[in-house]
Amino acid sequence: MIGRIAFITGATSGIGAACARRFAAEGAKVVATGRRKERLDELARELGDACHTIVLDVQEREAVERVFGELPSAFAAVDVLVNSAGGALGLARVDQARVEDWEDMIAANVRGLALVTRAAIPGMIARRRGHIVNLGSVAGSYTYPGGNVYGATKAFVERFSMNLRADLLGHPIRVTNIEPGMVETEFSVVRFGGDRAKADAVYAGMKPLVADDIADVVHFAVTRPAHVNVNRLEVMPVDQAFGPFAVHRGPPKG
């Protein structure tokens, strides 16, 4: 990682923050972005000169399009993009879900990821090097009750990642979709509107992954030889697996 520059969205917590720390520890320079300035300031103090922070909402198109052109020269040649911003909101079934939650998830998980990726690619093409790492989810492949729009946004991430590979063929730019299962971060706290008890219940009685586990997986993908592309990497805790098909028996629900 020495000499490499990583641009990380969602670096104020969870997997994004873990990636920033792991990359900096391995000798990379890090552009850490997120919406919470106080969290970014803490990260900058921790990582020192290796870290440049930017308050950025990935949903704001003009800000995203501007940010790569305004990077300090020492951080401008971004060759790793980690799209970690986004998340889940609510776990209600489709007829009870808040449309506002759907809109927010689509804005961050789909629109934001696409906007940042589009803004980063021209520089990577010009410099003839780059690696785009998208944080997807097993929810993009496996359905569960209440996962409706969140799962759909992560299915977008998987398909977008593969389409990037097709579009960038012939350029020395790699694309990887990391698809975690259950990872204990602020994810569930946010999903349940700050209800810590509900969030803790998600992981009760099992050992989930943690943010550093996923940062380790991201580090693995970006440190493979330049001719090796990890397309998709799905990772779950040992305590999570797959169940039988759901079958409804009896009369239709009222």
Minimal CA–CA distance to 119: which of 70, 51, 170? 70
Q: Please give the pLDDT value at position 74.
A: 96
Report angle CA 174, 29, 80 to the nearest 5 degrees: 10
- Identify the CA nearest to 159 among candidates 119, 110, 214: 110
* The predicted structure's pLDDT at residue 190: 77
Answer for the pair 163, 216: CB distance below 8 angstroms, yes or no: no
Between CA 133 and CA 131 the distance in angstroms is 6
First to last CA, the chain: 57
Domain ranges (residues) in the chain: 5-233
Catalytic choice (142, 144, 150, 203): 150
Quick check: 82 and 7 in contact, CB under 8 A? yes
**C-beta separation of 162 from 210 below 8 A:** no
Neighbours of 89 (CB within 10 A): 20
Place of tokens 């990583």: 6
What does the DSSP 8-state code read for residue 145?
T
Q: How far is CA 239 from the centre of its chain?
A: 22
Alpha-carbon gap, residue 188 to 223, rounded angstroms? 30
How high is the pLDDT of residue 122?
97
Strands, sheet with 173-180, edge to edge from the N-terminal-most edge strand: 51-55, 29-34, 5-8, 80-83, 130-135, 173-180, 232-235
- pLDDT at position 185 is 84
Active site residue 142: no
Q: How much is the pLDDT for 151?
A: 96
pLDDT per residue rounded down to tens, the chain (254 residues): 899 999 999 999 999 999 999 999 999 999 999 999 999 999 999 999 999 999 999 999 999 999 999 999 999 999 999 999 999 999 999 999 999 999 999 999 999 999 999 999 999 999 999 999 999 999 999 999 999 999 999 999 999 999 999 999 999 999 999 999 999 987 777 777 777 888 888 889 999 999 999 999 999 999 999 999 999 999 999 999 998 888 999 999 87
CATH topology of domain 5-233: Rossmann fold (3.40.50)
What pLDDT, on the 0 to 100 scale, is given for residue 205? 93
Look-up of token digits 């998340």: 87
